[in-house]
Amino acid sequence: MSDFYHLGFVVQDIHRATDDLTRALGVEWSPIREGRLGEWAYSIVFSVQGPPFFEIIQGPEGSPWDATAGSRFDHIGYWSRDIHRDKGLLQERGAPVEFDSCPYGRSFSYHRLDSLGIRVELVDTAVRKSFVDTWCPDGPVMPSLDLDHRRT
């Protein structure tokens, strides 16, 4: 199995969530950043410790990070060397695309695993340097997903 690089949580209150993880587990955080994807404004933060990192996202109702039904563990994030190929392989293997950011000019997709109630996120390695520069400038090398070596 290839190494995942983050665990993603979708929350109703990003400050409460980060405070709780800091108090309970000693997690340290990078600064919270604001972003926009299409019509959705969101807040996002990654832990300083990692990989794997904790990712906390707060987004509005109707967005890919809608937490109106409650905060939750949402996804496992992997780097993909060929996101278009890997999206197709995950779909063939029973993990359909639930959200694709490519039409919004971004390079990630969420794939639903209903039996677990979670998503798998694929993120194109083309943005890995930007991620490292933004969230973990002195961080270690993070491997990419290797779907060709899975057990059958």
Q: Is 139 helix (H, G, I), strand (E, B) or coil?
A: coil
pLDDT, tens digit, 9 for 90 and up, residues 18-54: 999 999 999 999 999 999 999 999 999 999 999 999 9
Euclidean distance between CA atoms 124 and 17, whole angstroms: 27
pLDDT, tens digit, 9 for 90 and up, residues 39-48: 999 999 999 9
Q: Report all structural domains of the chain as residue ranges with CATH numbers, in order of start.
A: 6-149 (3.10.180.10)
- pTM (2 d.p.): 0.92
Note the maximum CA span of the chain: 42
Structure confidence at residue 152 (pLDDT)? 41
Closest CA to 120 of 89, 74, 72: 74
**Does a cis peptide bond (omega within 30 degrees of 0) precede residue 143?**
no
More confidently predicted of 62 and 152? 62
More confidently predicted of 108 and 138? 108
pLDDT, tens digit, 9 for 90 and up, residues 129-151: 999 999 988 888 888 988 876 54
Structure confidence at residue 138 (pLDDT)? 82
